[in-house]
Structure 1
Amino acid sequence: MFDAGGVLFGPVGGRWNPRYDFESIVLRHRPGIATFADAITAGQRLLDESTTTPARSDYHRVMLAVLGVEPSAALLEELDAPVRGPLVEVFADVPPALERLRRGGIRMSVVSDAWGGLVTLLESVGLAGYFEGFAISEVLGCNKPDPRMYAEGRRLLDLPAGECLFIDDDPALVAAARELGYQGLTLDRTAAAAGEGVITSLEAIAL
């Protein structure tokens, strides 16, 4: 069971939310805005305080309100539309690791706090076919560490919790999975070396 962002891929532009073209889209509709920092902070606060993944339009409305922008339907539609060009970059260790796991008969699922477009995104980068299914927070109506997120990932694999390995870049979410009876590893690509319960590459589980 894999988290998606931070495990399978990273964001183009160096941040997850808002996506890298948020400022340029808003400025096309409302030129002259000098700073977006407070708006981005407000948007992140909404995500952090929500028990599920809010609708993208609600997330955008929060930021636009801080900017003093009453959004038109056209602006919201453009912000919600699929990005032109790559939105994420797949980590180099991911495709070979997933391929070896699949050849070894290992069944895999994704358990991610994400919007419903995650499956389409994974399809666009050639990763969706490796997974039996996807437990997505916006679809399920809850975020990790809610037990329902992990349970859906396990259900997709038709395995008991103790036979499932959950991998995330957030150690708190890995700890929550372990408390629920799952095996868990934290993926930290910035670590100098692997340690107890920590790996630095997906290659470590695909040997």
Structure 2
Amino acid sequence: MGMRGVMFDAGGVLFGPIGGRWNPRFDFERIVARHYPGVGSFAAAIAVGQRFLDKSSTTPPRGEYHRVMLDVLGVEPSASLLAELDAPLAEPVVEVYPDVRPALERLRLGGVRMSVVSDSWAGLVTLLESLDLAGYFDGFAISEVLGCNKPDPRMYAEGQRLLGLPADECLFIDDDPLLVQAARELGHQGLTLDRGASLSSEGVIASLDALAVP
């Protein structure tokens, strides 16, 4: 069957983090130090926070994630600190990869339906709106909202439902090959996006420029 819809992962596919780190946000240390001068061991706290995320079956609330790291730092957070850590920034926190907008525009003009399937917090939709990307998509399957992470079949099923297409007409794109394999096992088409690759190969693309419109 041909491809009539595309389900995109978000982070690592549509955009990357400014500062090179996904979690916590690049201003975490700056905000905490302003509220609690002299606090240290940020590297240890961030490592514990990452283990907390890795062990979670879904994307936990950001407040819980921040509390785990702050506990390692010996900080009993105030409401104002938690609010500031979770508040949107006026400055960008991510940057859109240069191949993304041309690819999305090309797919839209070709009549291809698109959704986002992402292990992320619910604020992803607001972020995509701020990046002027949200309008390309028919909907968003987000782990914090659905209560599960990929490769849980419910994530892929919701992305497919948003497209209103059979599984074998939906292409799933992610930068994690294991998550792409899970999509294939559910009957979807799948491609791994490896931006570090010099060339595309079987099942792997080095850029969204390689996406062909049916």
Q: TM-score normalised to the size of structure 1?
A: 0.99
Q: Do 1:56 and 1:80's aligned partners in 2 also have CA atoms closer than 8 Å?
A: yes
Deviation at 1:206, TM superposition (A): 4.0
Distance 2:89 2:19 in 1: 13
Instruction: Show structure 1 runs of 5+ residues with no match.
Output: none
1:176 maps onto 2:182 in alignment: yes
Deviation at 1:40, TM superposition (A): 0.3
Number of aligned residue pairs = 207
Question: What SS does the corresponding residue of 1:129 show, helix, strand or coil?
Answer: helix
Distance 1:157 1:193 in 2: 30
Q: Deviations over 1:117-169 (max 9, x none)?
A: 00000000110000000000000000000000000000000011111000000
Counterpart residue number, 2:84: 78
Q: Do 2:40 and 2:73's aligned partners in 1 also have CA atoms closer than 8 Å?
A: no
- Within the candidate set 181, 187, 192, 1:186 is matched to 192
Deviation at 1:80, TM superposition (A): 0.7
Q: Do 1:97 and 1:206's aligned partners in 2 also have CA atoms closer than 8 Å?
A: no
Counterpart residue number, 2:128: 122
- Within the candidate set 2, 15, 19, 1:13 is matched to 19
Q: Deviations over 1:20-55 (max 9, x none)?
A: 000000000011123301100111011100000000
Q: Do 1:162 and 1:182's aligned partners in 2 also have CA atoms closer than 8 Å?
A: yes
Q: What aligned pairs does 1:1-207 form with structure 2 within 5 A after superposition?
A: 1-206=7-212
Question: What SS does the corresponding residue of 1:108 show, helix, strand or coil?
Answer: strand
Question: What SS does the corresponding residue of 2:190 show, helix, strand or coil?
Answer: strand
Deviation at 1:81, TM superposition (A): 0.5
Distance 1:206 1:55 in 2: 37
Question: What SS does the corresponding residue of 1:64 show, helix, strand or coil?
Answer: helix
4+ aligned runs moved over 4 Å, structure 1: none
Identity between Structure 1 and Structure 2 (%): 76
Task: Give the superposed CA RMSD.
Answer: 0.7
Q: TM-score normalised to the size of structure 2?
A: 0.95
Counterpart residue number, 2:4: none
Question: What SS does the corresponding residue of 2:54 show, helix, strand or coil?
Answer: helix
Q: Do 1:98 and 1:206's aligned partners in 2 also have CA atoms closer than 8 Å?
A: no
Q: Deviations over 1:47-106 (max 9, x none)?
A: 100000000000000000000000000100000111230011000000001001000000
Deviation at 1:193, TM superposition (A): 1.2
Distance 1:162 1:149 in 2: 16
